[in-house]
Every structure is written in C-alpha cells, then in structure tokens.
Amino acid sequence: MTSFTLTKHHGLGNDFLVLVDLDGVHPVDALVARALCDRHRGVGADGVIRVTAGTEGADVTMQLRNADGSLAEMSGNGIRCLAQAVHGAGLVDGLNLTVATAAGVRRLTLRGGDGPAVVQVSVDMGPARIGPEEPQPTPGRGVRPVDMGNPHLVVWGPAFTTEDVLGMGPQIEARTAGGVNVEFVTLGPAADELTMRVWERGVGETQACGTGACAAAAAAHEWGLVGPRVVVHQPGGDAEVEIRPDTVILTGPSELVARVEVDLDEVTAR
C-alpha cells in the first residue's frame, strides 16, 4: 500500500490539497491529481500542490496541478494554502517564506487570522504584464490580456450573468492555445472595489482566483477605473490587491480544512 498524508486548505473557497514531499518520494502525475480532486470519488479540490525542497535559493518549491491534471504555473490562492501548510509543518522559522514556482520565486508574509485554523498571507506576485486592449463587439465592455506568470483575459462590463460565465468561459479557454483564465469583472459596489467571477482553465468556475484578482485589479487600474489599492469581491470572499510600479501584492486568508490520509492505490483504482 502506498499512502501519504495531505492537508486540505481553502483560500476564499478556492480549495487545494497540499502534499509536503521534501524527500521527493511521492510524485503527483495527472492521473493522481485527477483522482484526488474528484469531488465524488476522491477527496475533492480545485488542485493539488506538491511541496518539494527549495530551488533557486527559495525555502521550498511549488508544483501545482489543476483538477483536470494539467500543470499550472501559479495560483495566488494556492500559494497561500502552501504557506499555511509549510508553516504548520514547522518547515520555516518565523513568518516569512520564499517559494520557487514555475512563474518565478514568490515572497510571502504570514500573520494571524480570524481563528486558530486561519492565517492571513501577503504574496509578492511579481509584475502584471498588461497587453493591449482587444476588440470587443459588445458595447460597454472591454477585454484585456494580463500575464501574472500565468495567462488571464479580463473581461470588463456593467453586468455578467451565470450564463455568461458558463457559456463564454469555456469557449474562450478552448480557443486559446494552452488555455487561459477568464475574469468577468464589474465595477463597485464602492470606490476602488471590483466584483468578479472567474472561469479557471483546467477547473471551471471557482469560488475565487488570486492571480485572477490581481489581473482584474491591474487591468482596471490601467483603464483608470480604480486606484492602486483595490478590494476584489468574489463568491468565496474578498481579496486585497495593491498595484505597485514594479509588482502586485495580494493579501487574503488561507484556512486549514482537514488532514487526509490517502491510500494512493485505492484512489487511482476508482
């Protein structure tokens, strides 16, 4: 029997299974990720994060697979969940952490949250690379690509329905080589606030997206709709984004949900 322990966390309802594997003895391939993330026959999650020994001078290295088994470069909610798992396992001293990701090294700071199972984490997400505005046939809407180390397409408009998200999201993802995360963003309800729903590549609609919140805030700031400090309201909760000249800072919670003992042979046999 091949068994290991995972911790399950969520960042604003965007949930992840975290495997601390510093010895590198438990690789997570696409089959394993799909089996673990299955919400009916597995544990259930939007993605699986494997934590291995640090590279590039970082404390640890992050490997992320989406629920469909595909690899992802980065997740703003997922890296906060990783930080809580690593800190909880006693792998770092203090409240500062550096993580090597496929999008580059990210620096994180932890502090206490609302309850013993919750931490607040700020992440230096790196710069937002904002592309030129794309043609949009619908009046009153705007479309802009943003690279946060992973690809995003921010669609801004006065209102979006569930039909928009579930219809346009997979269509846009399918026609983009390698897939893309799609943010549906409206202004408000107050000044320097945005309301967002997201279609994530390899997953579908999720409760929140950290890199997506950064992309939405950066695009809205470029459009002149918000200032440098933005609250992004999502179905799972609110993220705080600060736009700086050379980087974007994301702040939000991570909550420990459970510790799970997994029999890998059983999971992958289903």
The predicted-structure confidence for 169-219, as pLDDT tens digits, reads as follows 999 999 888 899 999 999 999 999 999 999 999 999 999 999 999 999 999
Rounded to 5 degrees, φ, ψ at 167 are -90, -50
pTM of this structure: 0.93
The predicted-structure confidence for 57-87, as pLDDT tens digits, reads as follows 999 999 999 999 999 999 999 999 999 999 9
Domains, the chain, in order of start with CATH, read 3-123+254-269 (3.10.310.10), 129-246 (3.10.310.10)
